[in-house]
């Protein structure tokens, strides 16, 4: 319909428009603002990371050299936060990729109400992080009033005080719940593009369900899995809201990841220099992953 109406519209000839006009006026605004957005704050972070700068204490000033960095790497909290970051990212990746792959194969099958079931399964991805974290912390994991506590009592076990005894596990559960649907959604799309005749041929040749999965489905998913891993890593490296509303990094520093450490340094201790040095570490970490992600996307890009 739209093409019919488009062709029937009388378009007045424009003699003043060149046939190969420059595209710069169209491209420049987007490139310009992105350039500013990506370079100015980055340069400022680098700059601050070499300065003595405290928002509450004007006597702290001047160049710090590499003091912020040397202070950072001798600070045990930093290494704990780095380890926590890696534990969080690693655990969530394993849970969501393994779980997502299995669920993708499951939801690829035909069963009654499959469409509705799939909508239910992907719903958690659309829940805002602060809601997800607080619902889990209170309605699910609260040792007295939470559903999990009641289930434990029903089974004759002692309810677990999740955030006191297993704070990192609790955060991992919440974040995995948010990202499992993402992995499922991406991997399901990939599974559905699998050549059915290939599976049929394998079945004819006597391949069982496991052989089909490991020799056909899984290799087919390799690319999608790597994309899921990279995109999740970018987001998971800077998980913040879930920690902010549940544990505030604690108890102690048990759930302080790099993002929360930087936030605490900057906006709770007002140490701009130290926080910026931490920011640079976060950027470096993300760049390692980003390099592979951009390369992988580039391979598929047709211009």
Partner 1 sequence: MKDSAAKRIFITILGWLVALLLAFPIIWMVMTSFKTETDAISTPPLFVWHPTVASYAEVQERANYFSFALNSILISVGGSLLALAFSVPAAYAMAFHPTPRTRSTLLWMLSTKMLPPVGVLVPIYLLFSSLNILDTRGGLIIVYALMNLPIVVWMLFTFFKEVPREILEAGRMDGAGVWNEMRYLLMPLTLPGIASTGLLSLILCWNEAFWSLNLTSSAAAPLTTFIASFSSPEGLFFAKLSAASTIAVAPILIFGWLSQRQLVRGMTFGAVK
By CB under 8 A, what part of segment 9-38 binds partner 1? 9, 11-14, 17, 19-21, 23, 25-27, 29-31, 33-34, 37-38
Tell me the angle at which helices 272-299 and 67-74 cross, rounded to the nearest 10 degrees. Answer: 80
User: Under the criterion CB under 8 A, does residue 97 sit at the interface with partner 1?
Assistant: no
Binds partner 1 (CB under 8 A): choice among 135, 194, 199, 202: 135
Residue 244 engages partner 1 in binding (rule: CB under 8 A)? yes
**157 contributes a contact to partner 1 by CB under 8 A:** no
Stretch that binds partner 1, among 74-82, 86-94, 198-206, 237-245 (CB under 8 A): 237-245
**Site mask for partner 1 (CB under 8 A), range 159-198, x = bound:** ------------------x--xxx--xx--xx--x-----
Residues 33-92 that bind partner 1 (CB under 8 A): 33-34, 37-38, 40-42, 44-45, 48
Strand-pair partners of 63: 51
Specify the stretch interacting with partner 1 by CB under 8 A; choose among 63-71, 75-83, 87-95, 236-244: 236-244
Q: Give the range of 58-66, 71-79, 90-98, 146-154 binding partner 1 by CB under 8 A.
A: 146-154
117 counts as binding partner 1 under rule CB under 8 A: yes
Q: Which of 284, 287, 275 is nearest to 72 (CA)?
A: 275
- CB 168, CB 88: distance < 8 Å: yes
CB of 253 closer than 8 Å to CB of 81: yes
Query: According to CB under 8 A, which one of 74, 76, 111, 156 is a site residue for partner 1?
Result: 111
Among 61, 70, 269, 287, the residue binding partner 1 under the rule CB under 8 A is 287
Least Cβ distance, residue 134 to partner 1 (angstroms):
6
**Selected range binding partner 1 among 59-67, 72-80, 87-95, 279-287, rule: CB under 8 A:** 279-287
Distance CA 211, CA 219 (A): 12
Binding of partner 1 by 259 (CB under 8 A): yes
As measured in angstroms, the least distance from the Cβ of 148 to partner 1 is 10
Q: Is 112 exposed, middle or buried (0-12, 13-18, 19+ CB in 10 A)?
A: exposed
Number of residues this chain uses to bind partner 1 (CB under 8 A): 119
First to last CA, the chain: 28
Nearest residue (CB) to partner 1, 16 versus 197: 16
Query: How far from chain centre, in Å, is Cα 11?
Result: 47
Q: CB of residue 190 vs partner 1: minimum separation in angstroms? A: 6
CA–CA separation, 78 vs 107, rounded Å?
42
Distance, CA of 158 to CA of 147 (rounded, Å):
13
The DSSP 8-state label assigned to residue 271 in this structure reads B
CB 53, CB 61: distance < 8 Å = yes
Residue 7's SS3 state is helix
Structure tokens of 123? 């719903």
- CA R_g for the chain: 25
214: Cα within 13 Å, side-chain hemisphere: 5
Q: Which stretch binds partner 1 (CB under 8 A): 56-64, 73-81, 164-172, 276-284?
A: 276-284
């Amino acid at each position: 319909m739209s093409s019919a109406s488009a062709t029937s519209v009388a378009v007045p000839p424009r003699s003043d428009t060149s046939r190969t006009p420059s595209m710069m006026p169209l491209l420049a605004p987007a490139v310009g603002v992105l350039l500013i957005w990506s370079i100015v704050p980055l340069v400022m972070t680098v700059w601050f990371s070499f300065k003595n700068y405290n928002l509450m204490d004007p006597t702290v000033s001047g160049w710090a050299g590499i003091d912020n960095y040397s202070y950072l790497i001798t600070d045990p909290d930093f290494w704990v936060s780095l380890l926590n970051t890696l534990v969080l990212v690693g655990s969530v990746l394993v849970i969501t990729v393994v779980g997502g792959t299995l669920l993708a194969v499951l939801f690829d099958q035909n069963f009654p109400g499959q469409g509705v079931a799939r909508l239910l399964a992907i719903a958690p991805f659309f829940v805002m992080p602060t809601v997800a974290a607080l619902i889990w912390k209170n309605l699910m994991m609260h040792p007295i009033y939470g559903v999990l506590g009641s289930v434990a009592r029903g089974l004759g076990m002692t309810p677990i005080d999740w955030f006191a005894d297993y704070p990192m596990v609790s955060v991992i559960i919440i974040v995995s719940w948010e990202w499992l649907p993402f992995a499922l959604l991406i991997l399901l799309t990939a599974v559905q593009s699998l050549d059915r005749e290939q599976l049929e041929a394998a079945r004819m040749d006597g391949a069982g369900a496991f052989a089909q999965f490991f020799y056909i489905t899984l290799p087919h998913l390799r690319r999608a899995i790597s994309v899921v891993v990279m995109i999740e890593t970018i987001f998971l490296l800077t998980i913040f809201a879930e920690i902010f509303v549940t544990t505030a990094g604690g108890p102690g520093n048990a759930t302080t990841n790099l993002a929360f450490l930087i936030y605490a340094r900057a906006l709770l201790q007002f140490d701009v220099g130290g926080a910026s040095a931490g920011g640079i570490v976060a950027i470096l970490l993300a760049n390692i992953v980003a390099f592979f992600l951009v390369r992988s996307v580039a391979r598929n890009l047709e211009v």
